[in-house]
Amino acid sequence: MINVGKELAKGVEHFWKVRASQHKKQGAKTGKKDAGNRAAVTGGKHADGFVSLIKSIVVDAELPNVEVLVHTSVKKHRTLPGYFRPCKEWDVVVLSGNNLIAVVEVKSQVGSFGNNFNNRVEEALGNATDFWAAYKNGVFKPSSKPWLGYLFMLEEKPESLKPTKQIHLEPFAIEKDFQALSYAKRYEIACQRMVRELLYDAACFITSNSETGIIGKYKEPCEELNIKNFAISLHARAAAFAKIQK
């Protein structure tokens, strides 16, 4: 099997290099740059390394007639029907013939931690809920139960690593496990619970920063959410289907 740790490091390196390049180039023609971190993300393609890693895991399983649809594929082929909404465009969609094998969402957050944490979690929960409702109601038939994964990278900064303030609510207090946690720890708990609640078959959560990430450095705060567990789960699903088809 491929060295997933090494390939993830390449994805991290690519992410930060593309962000730096886009931030430098964005606005070169107009003389204007987007405010804040938006200047570094409006060009897209920063997650290509992570997408390539996911594709490599699936290809290694030797699926017959495999199609790994990513952002360079025709957009409509990565757009799957939903249940509570008409459809959604996913980051990676894996097909073998007319069988839906796996779907993966790839996300990251750089800066604006307080403003975006709830949005990211709500988005992940909503996507999974809609996906499984569609499956339960036969939207993906005749496919067997597909595999759903979530890969998330958080920028490692003092603002994302330091404990947050205590939250006081009345008459209903928040769960004590969330009190005074850093945003990194909040994301870790959210990803862990989404897997344990069977909303995702596997999740990978990593942290990285622009200084060391540009040479491929990253951290895996939670062993349960590391890239090896993610890859084992996805590879097993793809390999099992491949073996039965053969």
Number of domains in the chain: 1
Type of residue numbered 174: I
Whole-angstrom CA distances from 77 to 56, 61, 68, 92, 227 are 19, 22, 10, 10, 26
32-80 pLDDT, tens digit per residue, is 544 444 333 333 477 889 999 999 999 999 887 888 888 665 555 789 9
Residue 113 burial (CB count, 10 A): 21
106-164 per-position pLDDT tens digit = 999 998 888 889 999 999 999 999 999 999 999 999 999 999 999 999 999 999 998 88
* pLDDT at residue 115, rounded to an integer: 80
Distance CA 161, CA 152 (A): 16
Is the pLDDT confidence value at 28 over 60?
A: no
pLDDT digits (tens, 9 = 90+) for 205-239: 999 999 999 999 999 999 999 999 999 999 999 99
pLDDT of residue 40: 33
Structure confidence at residue 113 (pLDDT): 87
The span from the CA of 176 to the CA of 206, in Å, is: 24
The model's pLDDT over 153-167, given as tens digits with 9 standing for 90+, comes to 999 999 999 888 777
Nearest alpha carbon to residue 92 among 51, 139, 145, 50: 51
Host domain of residue 198 = 4-245
Please give the single-letter amino acid code of residue 185. K
